[in-house]
Amino acid sequence: MIHKLFYWLIFASTITLLGCVKETTLTTNPIVDNYVFDVNGEAIYQSGLQKNKQKSPEQYISILYANLFQTSIPIDVLGVLGEVRVAIGDKQMANELILNGFVHEPDVLILSNNEMRNNLDEFINNIYLRFFLRTPTAYEKFELKKMIEEDSNLTPELIYQGFALSNEYQFY
């Protein structure tokens, strides 16, 4: 059934193109170069205070993809996600849906709960490097470690989403 719907949507897109097109031109923003936002796990910020610029939607999606899959986002995926994001008025909701889709992809790189709990200090250090490009302060490490230890159902999948939806992750 879904395939029929997709065929139909291709037809519908064709029909839409037959109508007025002058008013529906979209400006395409340049693709963000992920090189700027290194995915090699290097600490490039001494503190979150150094982050003051909010990421553009394309930056956010590109970096999120790189953080979760450890590879650059394919251009066609970025294009599709850009459309999906435009199609939802609440951008926070759009981000959450995109993130939800990512973390349930089969090739996403997320540790298991056991792997995380086997070495919590290393996990916390790495997740801060991965998402925030900085090491955690001692207090941040203490807080997160305490939260994980007190809740056995707090999995890496959920923690990753907390990081990806955090305010700091929206800035660089």
Residues that bind another protein (CB under 8 A): 1-2, 4-6, 8-10, 12, 15-16, 18-20, 23-27, 48-49, 51-52, 54, 77, 80-81, 83-84, 86-93, 96-98, 100-101, 104-106, 137, 139-140, 143-144, 147, 151, 153-154, 158-159, 161-163, 165-168, 170-171
Give the residue with the Cβ less far from another protein, 114 or 167. 167
For helices 91-103 and 156-164, the axis angle rounded to 10 degrees is 150
What distance in Å separates the CA atoms of residue 163 and residue 89, rounded to the nearest whole number?
Answer: 22
Q: Determine contact, residues 29/59, Cβ cutoff 8 Å.
A: no
Give the residue with the Cβ less far from another protein, 40 or 52. 52
Q: How far is the CB of 102 from another protein (least distance, A)?
A: 8
CA 38, 87, 158, 104 torsion-angle sign: negative
Report the 10 Å Cβ neighbour count for 148. Answer: 19
Give the residue with the Cβ less far from another protein, 70 or 161. 161
